[in-house]
Amino acid sequence: MIRYRLIQWPWAGFLIALALLVQELLLRWFGTQPPLAETLWRVFVTTLGATSLALLIMPSRRPAYVLGAMICAALIGYALYAQYVQGLEPCPLCVFQRIAVIGCGIVFAAAAIHGPARRGALGYALATLVIAGIGAMVAMRHLWLQSLPPGEVPACGPGLNYMLETLPFTDVLSKVLQGSGECAAVDWRFLGLSLPGWTLVFFITMIVAAFAVIDRD
């Protein structure tokens, strides 16, 4: 088990207060900047907190993989709840991010069943890096589309199911990554971040956790 150096509470309180002050100043400065800059700052701060929490509470290797698989299942469960109960229809980029979350969940579930040693854990970490890295790139593209001014938002395109039925997969992939009007809509926010912002936080945190768990026995 990895032990982290303790920080005395006065220093911890001072650093937290300083971080919040810097965030407030930066958010005031971002008020005159493009919205994407503020969004990326919020993603950075949230990711820093999420990865720090993951490293602090991370159990030994196999339970950590089980926990990762459960988190992925919970995210997909909420996505289905938001779609079928709250009526939030996923855009094509949302669907691609769901696929990446499912891929991470499969990797974690396989690792939990396998119970790998250190070398095997490295292999699972690399698989997570590839899958979550792709998901993170899709999420960043999604955030960029959501930051565009109304006059620069692409027109709405055909649905993903229609494109899959009528176009080659490479053409579907190209059109999805180009984005469309429905991908630029922001229908949900929590703590200042839209859904692709939170999925970006998730993907980065999963990559960090997958490599950190290598040293957990």
Q: Which domain holds residue 49?
A: 35-215
Q: Is residue 14 part of a domain?
A: no
Report if residue 116 sits inside a domain. Answer: yes
- When divided into structural domains, the chain yields a total of 1
Task: Write the CATH number for 42.
Answer: 1.20.1550.10
Distances (CA, A) of 213 to 102, 181, 210: 20, 40, 5
Assigned domain for 13 exists:
no
Whether residue 25 is contained in a domain is answered as: no
* pLDDT tens track, the chain, 217 positions: 555 555 565 666 666 767 767 776 776 776 655 577 778 888 888 888 888 888 878 888 889 999 999 999 999 999 999 888 888 877 888 888 999 999 999 999 999 999 888 889 999 999 999 999 999 998 988 888 887 776 655 555 555 554 555 556 565 555 555 555 566 777 777 777 888 899 999 999 999 999 989 887 7
pTM of the model: 0.77
Cβ neighbors of 203 (< 8 A, separation 6 or more) are: 100, 104, 132, 133, 135, 136, 139
Assess if residue 69 is contained within a domain. yes
Residues 59 and 104: their CA atoms lie apart, in Å, by: 18
Nearest of 79, 140, 67 to residue 104 by alpha carbon: 67
